[in-house]
Structures are given as C-alpha cells and as structure tokens.
C-alpha cells in the first residue's frame, strides 16, 4: 500500500514548486549561487548601512545560510538539522508585499523562515518563495527541463496534506512539524542550547588556537613595521581569512615599504572597498589587487590634507549652530569615504551660509549632531545626538534642536552612566564564568547588554569556562569556536 506514497508526496510539492521542478537534474553549487542573485541583492548588508541592527542580522543570517548550503553538498546531507533564518529584505522590482508582511516606510521588511530542505534546488526555490522573489530565472539555469509537468499533477487538490506519524516512521522521512518544534526549543533555551553546542564550540575553539596565535603575531609585526595605530576588520571574517589578508599586506610591505609607511599613525581596516574612511582610517578592499592598495598608500598625504580641511569645515558648521559638535559615528552611519563625507558637510555648510539661522553662541555646547543624506526630518537619537538631514528645513531645524536640547543632554548623561554600568557588568561576567573573551556585536545597545549581563550573572553556566562569548541577536557557533547568544535569552522562550 505504501508504494503510492512517493508519487503522492511528489505531487503535493507541485503547489509550491515550478512545473519543471520534478523533471530537472541535480543543481550545482555554482548554479545555486547564481540563482540566488536576486535574493542576495535584496538582503546584502551593504544596502543597510544606515540601519546597523538590520545589517548585522543579515550578515549573520547569510553566514548561517552559507554553512547550510555547503553542508547540503556533503555526504549525509539528509540528516541536516532545520535552520531558522531571519532576513531584512529590501523592496525591489521583483518582490511585493502580497501575502507577506508589508514593507516599512524605510523600504524593507523582516522575513523569517526555517530551512529543512534536502537538496540545493528545493532550498533555492524555498528561499526565493519565502522572500516573494521570482523563481522563473531558475528554469533557465537548468538544462534538462521539460516544458510540461506530469498530467496527474493538475488534478491534485489544493488542500495541504497532513501525514500521519506512521508515514514518517515507515518511510524514514523527517517530520517537519517535529523538526520545527525541536528547533524552536533548541534556539530559545539558553541552558539546553549551550549543553548541546558547548562541546562543538570547544572543539572549534581548540582547533582555532594556532590560527589565533598566528593572527596576533602578524598583526603585531605589521603594526610595528608600519607604525600603525591599529588593524581592524569591518566584517566578521574567519581567522583563516584574516590571516590571509595580513599575509597579503605583509607581502606588499616587503615590496613597497616606504610607500606603506605613509600610513604611520593610522588605523587600517580590511573592508569591502579601498579608500579613506570618513574618520581617516585606511580602508583596504579585500577584493582589490595590490596595485589598488599601493595607489591608495601613495595618495595618503593628499588625503591627510583633505582631512584637515574637513575638520575645519566641521568647526565652521559648529560655530554657526551654537557650538554643537559635528561627529561621525561609525556604528550608526553608513560607511562613507573621506571624499563623500566632505561633500556631505560642504553641501550643508553652504546651505547654512545662504540661509542664516541665528543661534546664540555656545548655547548648544556639549551636544552632538550627525549629518546624513536622507530627506527625512531631523530626529533625536536615544543616545543623545541629533540626526540632521543635509536637506532639511533650516528654519524648522532651529526650533527642533532648541526644544529638544534638554532632552538631548539627559540622553547623553544616561548613555554615559549606562556605559559605566555596562563595562562593570562585562568585567564581572568575564570573571564569574572564566571567559577568555566577552564582547558584543555593534548592533547590540548598551541597554540590551546590561540587561543580558545582569541575567547571566544569576545563572550557573559551567559550559562557558574558557570560551569566547559574543552577545548578538540569536544563537550561533561561529566557525572559529566563538559562541553567539541573543541578548534577550531566557531559560524559557526568548523575550519578545
């Protein structure tokens, strides 16, 4: 009687899959990446520069997706555990809000789904469908596609089939409801998740120790050789990737040492594109060749001159606005080059000169503002600084700042007090759990970190001894053994 189960199961999938799905050959890894291009375009972190929380969520979800896709191509992939993912999806020409959570006024929406697929093709289709993206282009990537589906597929009812538990017991297929329930429990319970993943994290951490020592050695040697202030990374690349980047910089230093010494006293950041950042850091694009890096180091003296002019421009704007300090906050603003940031300030300064807005001298001293290129109205951030669009109405700007100046001072005072408490709790947590390293992702606020640490200190968590612990927005074991936990963890379900 069970000989009909496989055909029926195949026909049930016709509801969510294209007609050619069941007649196509195996999908390759390269084809999967190509088919997911619209998805990557809709969720790429670079498009969320002004939304650090959403950018961080997408970065981490893409890492988990990458691991899932890699494991699908390995032997034994049928035993893969379901993986919950959350993405902030930008509005594009391909997607719409039909049947989905509508796009916010900022132009993106949150999409959550759980992968429990068995092959690359069904995974690609599931991801695209979950994000309301077209799957038509996937057909052109597969060479053995028949134009028509099996005739009997057209006669299937639209009613979803709920299989009896005996079906999964007999066929060996995994019950998706059972898997989802298991994943939910595993991902929302701190102690059980640590118990299940602690040994795996320890093994990865132990395996990464030689690379960690190598990374520290390379970083120290290059910092000393080039007299750098610091070497950092914009993204959460693995240790092997970071060591490779430092080796590449080291080879360039051997060839052009005097040129690279132009960066004396600077901070070097490995990132997605080469240039000088808005705060004067030397950005080395990881996809650029040595020639591009060399040209950048050669031009550093001219960039230093531009940086001096930028600082003067900031002071001039500050003087016109009651001595409010103009700042650039890396964690909260899009990544801008020095040229881009100077242009932004210059546009705003010229508007101030043309439309004089009288502020009492020094009336806003001690307050801070950041400039952005949005066309939205000005706002006051919870951390105490003002968000000022370059093209805002200057007449209304004066009223807005003056009526919220006291609130801004209170917010800044509360921020400073919270930072002191946060540092104390981080030290206490590090000591209690004997952590090797305890840190947070940039998208986790001080308030969230304080809440997380206070509750951690009330727990007994022997799994954490000697570990690298990162406070994030979800659970994850990073490739080099760092443990990520959500800031809003709880022994039951996560706090909403």
Instruction: Tell me the average pLDDT across 460-472.
Output: 92
Q: Are 448 and 487 in contact (CB under 8 A)?
A: yes
pLDDT above 60 (res 200): yes
Lowest mean pLDDT among 58-62, 336-340, 437-441: 58-62
Q: What's the pLDDT score for residue 141?
A: 55
Instruction: Tell me the average pLDDT across 474-481.
Output: 86
333 pLDDT band (50/70/90 cuts)? confident
Q: What is the pTM of this model?
A: 0.64
CA distance 156 to 173: 22
Q: What's the pLDDT score for residue 19?
A: 46
Lowest mean pLDDT among 86-95, 329-338, 352-361: 86-95
With tokens 């606005």, the residue in question is 321
pLDDT above 60 (res 173): no
Instruction: Tell me the average pLDDT across 433-442.
Output: 93
CA distance 249 to 283: 12
What's the chain's average pLDDT? 80
Q: Are 401 and 386 in contact (CB under 8 A)?
A: yes
Q: What's the pLDDT score for residue 147?
A: 36
Contacts of 463 (CB under 8 A, 6+ apart): 194, 195, 198
Instruction: Tell me the average pLDDT across 259-273.
Output: 93
Q: How far is CA 250 from CA 221, 237, 244, 376, in A?
A: 9, 18, 10, 44
Tens digits of per-residue pLDDT, 208-245?
Answer: 999 999 999 999 999 999 999 999 998 777 898 899 99
Q: What's the pLDDT score for residue 140?
A: 57
pLDDT above 80 (res 336): yes
Contacts of 101 (CB under 8 A, 6+ apart): 109, 110, 111
With tokens 């099996």, the residue in question is 150
Tens digits of per-residue pLDDT, 115-141?
Answer: 887 788 888 888 988 888 887 777 655
Q: Are 90 and 47 in contact (CB under 8 A)?
A: yes
pLDDT above 70 (res 1): no
Look at 257 and 182; give whichever has higher pLDDT. Answer: 257
Q: What's the pLDDT score for residue 476?
A: 83
Instruction: Tell me the average pLDDT across 438-462.
Output: 92
Q: What's the pLDDT score for residue 157?
A: 38
40 pLDDT band (50/70/90 cuts)? confident
Q: What's the pLDDT score for residue 214?
A: 96
Give the sign of the dihedral formed by CA 151, CA 155, CA 160, CA 164: negative
Q: What is the strand order of the sheet 275-276 is part of? A: 230-233, 267-271, 282-285, 275-276
Contacts of 170 (CB under 8 A, 6+ apart): 2
């Amino acid at each position: 009687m069970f000989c009909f189960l496989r055909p029926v199961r195949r026909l049930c999938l016709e509801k969510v899959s294209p007609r050619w799905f069941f007649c196509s050959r195996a999908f390759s890894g390269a084809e999967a990446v190509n088919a997911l291009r619209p998805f990557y375009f809709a969720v790429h972190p670079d498009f969320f520069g002004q939304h650090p929380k959403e950018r961080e969520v997408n970065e981490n979800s893409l890492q988990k997706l990458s691991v899932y896709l890699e494991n699908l191509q390995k032997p034994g992939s049928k035993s893969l555990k379901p993986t919950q993912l959350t993405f902030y999806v930008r509005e594009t020409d391909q997607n719409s809000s039909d049947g989905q959570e509508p796009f916010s006024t900022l132009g993106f929406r949150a999409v959550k789904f759980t992968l429990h697929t068995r092959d690359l093709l069904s995974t690609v289709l599931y991801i695209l469908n979950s994000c309301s993206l077209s799957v038509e282009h996937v057909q052109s990537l597969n060479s053995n596609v028949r134009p028509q589906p099996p005739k009997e597929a057209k006669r299937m009812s639209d009613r979803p089939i709920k299989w009896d538990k005996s079906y999964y017991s007999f066929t060996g297929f995994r019950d998706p409801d059972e898997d989802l329930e298991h994943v939910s429990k595993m991902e929302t319970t701190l102690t059980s998740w640590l118990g299940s993943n602690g040994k795996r994290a320890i093994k990865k951490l132990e395996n990464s120790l030689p690379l960690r020592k190598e990374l520290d050695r390379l970083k120290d040697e290059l910092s000393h050789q080039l007299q750098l202030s610091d070497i950092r990374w914009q993204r959460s690349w693995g240790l092997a990737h970071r060591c490779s980047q430092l080796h590449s910089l080291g080879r360039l230093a051997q060839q052009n040492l005097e040129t690279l010494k132009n960066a004396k006293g600077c901070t070097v950041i490995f990132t997605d594109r080469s240039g000088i950042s808005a705060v004067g850091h030397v950005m080395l694009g990881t996809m650029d060749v040595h020639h591009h890096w060399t040209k950048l180091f050669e031009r550093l003296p001219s960039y230093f001159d531009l940086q001096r002019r930028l600082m003067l421009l900031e002071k001039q704007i500050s003087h016109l606005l009651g001595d409010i300090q103009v700042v650039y906050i890396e964690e909260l603003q899009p990544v801008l080059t020095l040229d881009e940031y100077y242009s932004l300030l210059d546009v705003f300064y010229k508007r101030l000169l043309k439309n004089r807005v009288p502020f009492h001298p020094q009336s806003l001293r001690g307050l801070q503002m950041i400039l952005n290129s949005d066309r939205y109205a000005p706002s006051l951030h919870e951390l105490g600084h003002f968000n000022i669009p370059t093209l805002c109405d200057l007449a209304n700007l004066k009223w807005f700042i003056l009526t919220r100046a006291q609130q801004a001072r209170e917010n800044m005072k509360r921020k400073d007090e919270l930072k002191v408490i946060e540092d104390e709790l981080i030290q206490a947590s590090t000591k209690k759990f004997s952590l090797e390293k305890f840190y947070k992702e940039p998208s986790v606020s001080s308030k969230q970190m304080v809440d997380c640490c206070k509750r951690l200190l009330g727990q007994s968590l022997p799994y954490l001894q000697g570990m690298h612990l990162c406070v994030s927005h979800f659970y994850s074991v990073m490739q080099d053994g760092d443990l990520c936990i959500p800031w809003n963890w709880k022994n039951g379900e996560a706090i909403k």
